[in-house]
A and B are shown apart, each in its own frame.
Chain A
Amino acid sequence: MTTPLTPPPRKDPLKRTVSPTQPPVIRSRAALGLTAMAAEGRFALQTCAECGAVQYPPRDACSACLSTDLPWWDIAPTGQLLAETTVQTSVKQYFRERTPWRVGSVQLDAGPVVICHLHGDVAANARVRLRLLLDRAGQGVILALPQERTDHMADDPELRLMSSDPHLRRVLITDARHPFAPDLAAALQTAGATLIFAGEPENWLPNPNRSALEAAGAEILPLDVTDTKSVERMAGEIGGKTDILINTARFMRPGGVLARGGTGFARDEMEVNYLGLMRLAQAFGPAMCGRTADGVNSAVAWVNILSVHARTNTPGFGCFNASQAAAFSLSQSLRAEFRGAGLRVMNVFTGPLEEDWYQPLPPPKVTGPALARSVVSGLRDGLEDVWCGDVAKDFEERFCKNPKVLEIELGQEMGE
Chain B
Amino acid sequence: MTDTLAQFAVEIASGAIRVVDLTHTLDPDFPVIILPPEFGQCARFRMEEISAYDHRGPGWKWHNIHLSEHTGTHFDAPSHWISGREVPNGDVDEISVENFVGPVVVIDCSAGAAKDDDFELTPEIILAWEGQHGRVPTDAWVLMRTDWSKRSGAEYLNMQSDGPHSPGPTPEAIRLLVEDRDIRGFGTETVGTDAGQGAHHTPPYPAHYILHGAGKFGLQCLSGLDQLPPTGAVLIATPLKIKGGTGSPLRVLALVPGGET
Closest-by-CB residue of A relative to B155 is A204
Q: Which of A204, A226, A228 has the most CB of B within 10 A?
A: A204
Chain A count of residues within 8 A CB distance of the other chain: 16
Evaluate contact between A253 and B159: CB separation under 8 angstroms. Answer: no
Evaluate contact between B157 and A253: CB separation under 8 angstroms. Answer: no
- Rounded to whole Å, the gap between the CB of A381 and the closest CB of chain B is 36
Cα(A89)–Cα(B41), bound, Å: 62
Evaluate contact between B47 and A229: CB separation under 8 angstroms. Answer: yes
Evaluate contact between B157 and A204: CB separation under 8 angstroms. Answer: yes
- Chain B interface helix/strand/loop/mixed: loop
User: Using a CB-CB cutoff of 8 Å, which residues 19-76 of chain B contact chain A?
Assistant: 28-29, 31, 34, 37-38, 40-41, 44, 46-49
Evaluate contact between B40 and A204: CB separation under 8 angstroms. Answer: no
Instruction: Give the contact stretch, choosing among A161-169, A262-270, A325-333, A346-354.
Output: A262-270
Cα(A228)–Cα(B28), bound, Å: 10
Evaluate contact between A205 and B28: CB separation under 8 angstroms. Answer: no
Pick the contact of B48: A202, A203, A228 (CB < 8 A): A228
- Residue-wise interface mask of A (221-232) relative to B, using a CB-CB cutoff of 8 A (1 in contact, 0 not): 000101111100
Evaluate contact between A205 and B48: CB separation under 8 angstroms. Answer: no
Pick the contact of B157: A205, A229, A230 (CB < 8 A): A205
Pick the contact of A224: B28, B157, B159, B160 (CB < 8 A): B28
- Rounded to whole Å, the gap between the CB of A224 and the closest CB of chain B is 7
Q: Which of B29, B41, B156, B159 has the most CB of A within 10 A?
A: B29
Evaluate contact between A253 and B38: CB separation under 8 angstroms. Answer: yes
Q: Cβ of B153 < 8 Å from any Cβ of A?
A: yes
Pick the contact of A206: B28, B46, B154 (CB < 8 A): B154
Chain B positions within 8 Å of A268 at CB level = 41
- Rounded to whole Å, the gap between the CB of B194 and the closest CB of chain A is 19
User: Chain B, interface size: which category?
Assistant: 20 to 34
Evaluate contact between B28 and A204: CB separation under 8 angstroms. Answer: no
- Rounded to whole Å, the gap between the CB of A254 and the closest CB of chain B is 9
Chain A positions within 8 Å of B154 at CB level = 203-206
Evaluate contact between A204 and B31: CB separation under 8 angstroms. Answer: yes
- Rounded to whole Å, the gap between the CB of A283 and the closest CB of chain B is 13
- Rounded to whole Å, the gap between the CB of A102 and the closest CB of chain B is 47
Cα(A226)–Cα(B157), bound, Å: 21
Would A230 and B153 be within 8 Å (CB), given that A206-B159, A265-B40 are in contact? no
Q: Report the number of A-B residue pairs with Cβ-Cβ less than 8 Å.
A: 40
Closest-by-CB residue of B relative to A208 is B161
- Chain A interface helix/strand/loop/mixed: loop
Cα(A227)–Cα(B48), bound, Å: 8
Closest-by-CB residue of A relative to B48 is A228
Chain A positions within 8 Å of B46 at CB level = 226-227
Chain B positions within 8 Å of A205 at CB level = 31, 34, 154, 157, 159
Cα(A107)–Cα(B38), bound, Å: 60
User: Using a CB-CB cutoff of 8 Å, which residues 210-245 of chain A contact chain B?
Assistant: 224, 226-230
Would A203 and B153 be within 8 Å (CB), given that A229-B28, A253-B38, A265-B40 are in contact? yes
Chain B positions within 8 Å of A264 at CB level = 40-41
Closest-by-CB residue of B relative to A222 is B29
Chain B positions within 8 Å of A202 at CB level = 29, 31, 44
- Rounded to whole Å, the gap between the CB of A66 and the closest CB of chain B is 55
- Rounded to whole Å, the gap between the CB of B62 and the closest CB of chain A is 14
Cα(A204)–Cα(B34), bound, Å: 11
Closest-by-CB residue of A relative to B34 is A205
Pick the contact of A204: B29, B41, B48, B49 (CB < 8 A): B29
Chain A positions within 8 Å of B160 at CB level = 206
CB-CB nearest 6 A-B residue pairs: A204-B31, A227-B28, A264-B40, A204-B153, A204-B154, A205-B159
Binding site for B on A (CB under 8 A): 202-206, 224, 226-230, 253, 262, 264-265, 268
Can you report 16 residue pairs joining A to B where beta carbons are below 8 Å apart?
Answer: A202-B44, A203-B153, A204-B29, A204-B31, A204-B153, A205-B31, A205-B157, A224-B28, A226-B46, A228-B49, A229-B28, A230-B28, A253-B37, A253-B38, A264-B40, A264-B41
